[in-house]
Amino acid sequence: MNIYAVRAMYAFEMARTARTLMQSIVAPVISTSLYFIVFGSAIGSRMPTVGGVSYGAFIVPGLIMLSLLTQSISNASFGIYFPKFTGTIYELLSAPVSTLEIVVSYVGAAATKSIILGLIILATATLFVPLRVDHPLWMLAFLFLTAVTFSLVGFIIGIWANGFEKLQVVPLVIVTPLTFLGGSFYSIGMLPPFWRTVALFNPVVYLISGFRWSFYGVAEVGVGISLIVTLAFFLVSLIIVGWIFKTGYRLKT
């Protein structure tokens, strides 16, 4: 692997974060903090505990996951779409770098930004609600795996999109609703049996459930199942990215 090329592309993408600090870091942290204030402090203080955890603390993993999913997709999709838009993608494709090096650089930078954002939001949450992390290593593992997986999804979206408006279609129309319906603000165990079964077809349920288990040791579905679903989603995304570079889909036209 050409480490120098990977380092250069990775550094370029990370430098873009410094230039857009307000949009990349500050805005998501402020918007998530409002959720903590409204749902955690104001409403949460008047609600019973969920699985032995205060409501304000219960929603923290779901809110972190919401920001992680949307920001991973946005960072990766814009990162690869902009070279397509400006035409510099052809210089990248003709350079002496492999497909693996391109993917590692762009996806790695997007995932790094999302992980940093997730950790900042986690630190911010401690200012508003009582918080504990029972399994810190598993928490970091779920955080890393989810960030990388959805950065791959964003990479795919950035190649597929042929306009700036399409970059926001999947995060706004698909990912955000699935996250809200995936147990960010409630336990799916509270749902009637029929809707609980329907919710299990939502892949985000498994991401949030596994991540929440790493905090409080409570989960709507088995931790092993959550990990398997996440890994399966990662592998599918990786296969699609490999197919894109093999066929040149929307890269060489």
pLDDT reported for residue 235:
94
pLDDT reported for residue 210:
93
pTM of the model: 0.90
Dump pLDDT digits (tens) for 192-242: 888 888 888 998 999 999 999 999 998 888 899 999 999 999 999 999 998
Dump pLDDT digits (tens) for 38-79: 876 667 667 777 778 888 888 899 999 999 999 999 889 988
User: Residue 112 and residue 147: Cα distance in Å, rounded?
Assistant: 8
Q: Which residue has the tokens 């929603």?
A: 59
Residue 164: count other Cβ atoms within 10 Å of its Cβ: 11
Q: How many helices (H) and strands (E) does the chain have?
A: 13, 0
